[in-house]
Amino acid sequence: MNNLGMRLCKNVYLLVLLPIAFFGQNCSDGFRTNYQTDLAIPSSITDLPPSPDPTGSSNANKRSVHAKSCLLGDVEAALNSIKVVNGIPESSVINIPPGSCDWKAQGIALPAGIEIKGFGKNLTRIKRSVATNTPLIAFNCTNGKAAVFSGMSLEGLKDQTTLDKGLSLQYGCREFEVYESSFSGFGHAGVEISNNTNQGIIPTGIVYKSDFVDNFKVSYGYGVVVVGDGTWPTPKFGSTEAVYVEENFFSGNRHSIASNAGSIYVFRYNTIHDNAGNWIAVDAHGQSLAPKRGSRAFEIYRNNLSQSTGNTGVAGVGIRGGEGVIFDNNISNYTNPIFLTVENSANCSSISYPLLDQPQKVYIWNNLSNNAVSKISIGAPYDCSNLLQLGRDYFTYQKPNYVPLQFPHPGRQKVN
């Protein structure tokens, strides 16, 4: 058995199993490597038997590790106290107490199977004050275990130029949970869900009861972004084989949610108020990362989208690729409540049908905008009618045999 140390150095995630101790090393980008292999518990940790979760979940079968504070060094010490065998950490929850801590340009990376938990999104706050493209917290899911994160606020640099990230779930995380947290001020994304395994793994899990505010940078700026591995999996509509984003609040993001590269997501029961002006609130890309594919599938339903008077957004739901359903949404004060187009839409007239990964099999029904049936715009301001036709590529009735997954998501065992 060895203790586990994981750090971010030069944007590379490192799993280090050390038989000896190293102290005080420094990576050139500011990430520290304080590894400890002594089985004695460091002075900055309180190691207790399984205890009640501060945000309400049950961790009866997990070892409970309490960091002394939210300072990076204390959280690192808690992480380093967890044993690992063959890449699998002992099932543990790291509890981070109330406080506001600046991790500057640094961050931590850890394997799935360890739960990170604060004492509430208004109590445990981790912020970034130095420009970097690396996330504050990154889970590596190559070991097949579940990543769980809750009860914290992650705050970005808020300069609208840095491509910083809050929470990153990497390498095809499945059955993950992110809940009762807040993500604000990141240039790239509040929560990034990605999969670069090239093995056709479909990321699955739930992001719920969280806030995403002012995550913005031109060409980026996502509340949540879902990126597949570039393959083209078969969607299973109404199943748990998707990333679910439900019962969250979004405001001031460039895209509240975006997707690409074979992604499959469900966006439901969310509230979006004042998405950043002149951008699409709910997005699905076409093929824009060639040779990787575009967005594979989406289910978008029972959301409330609104813009304040004078802050009219370009589109409430904007689809550039994939297939799916859009229904029972309330979309107010958007120039284009529902918008179908393709990548490189300015050249629609010269593109042969069908464009690879363009919107097809899109079913749209029962959406309201300012107490009227939502308008569906095609290609605006360009004429893309040669690529997107009613009755061929999109339909204004319910998808045959479609039944949405029960709400709340059945995997939400921690919060009712």
DSSP string, 236-290: -TTSSSSEEEES-EEES-SEEEEEESS-EEEEES-EEESPPTTSEEEEE--S-ST
pLDDT value of residue 59:
61
Question: What confidence category does residue 41 fall into, taking pLDDT thresholds of 50, 70 and 90?
Answer: very low
Look up residue 77 and give its DSSP letter.
H
352 burial via Cβ count (<10 Å: 0-12, 13-18, 19+): exposed
Please check whether residue 401 lies inside any domain of the structure: no
pLDDT value of residue 15:
34
Average pLDDT over residues 43-71: 66
pLDDT value of residue 92:
95
Please check whether residue 408 lies inside any domain of the structure: no
Look up residue 44 and give its DSSP letter.
T
Please check whether residue 361 lies inside any domain of the structure: yes
Please check whether residue 378 lies inside any domain of the structure: yes
pLDDT value of residue 260:
96
CATH code for the domain in which residue 80 is found: 2.160.20
Q: What is the mean pLDDT of the chain?
A: 87
Please check whether residue 116 lies inside any domain of the structure: yes
The fraction of the chain above a pLDDT of 90, given in percent, is: 77
Q: Which long-range contacts (CB under 8 A, 24 or more apart) does 197-202 make?
A: 197/142, 197/171, 197/172, 197/229, 198/229, 198/230, 198/231, 199/172, 199/229, 200/229, 200/231, 200/233, 201/172, 201/174, 201/229, 202/172, 202/174, 202/228, 202/233, 202/241, 202/242, 202/264
Provide the domain limits for residue 281: 2-395
Q: Count of domains in the chain?
A: 1
Do residues 338 and 320 make contact, with C-beta atoms less than 8 angstroms apart?
no
User: Per-residue pLDDT tens for 208-251?
Assistant: 999 999 999 999 999 999 999 999 999 999 999 999 999 999 99
Question: What confidence category does residue 130 fall into, taking pLDDT thresholds of 50, 70 and 90?
Answer: very high
Looking at per-residue pLDDT, the higher value among 402 and 49 belongs to 402
pTM metric for this prediction: 0.87
Average pLDDT over residues 316-328: 98
Least confident piece of the model among 54-63, 104-113, 374-383: 54-63
Please check whether residue 411 lies inside any domain of the structure: no
Which helix (DSSP H) or strand (DSSP E) does residue 65 occupy? strand 63-67
pLDDT value of residue 23:
28
State yes or no: pLDDT of 2 exceeds 50: no
State yes or no: pLDDT of 272 exceeds 50: yes
Please check whether residue 256 lies inside any domain of the structure: yes
Please check whether residue 239 lies inside any domain of the structure: yes
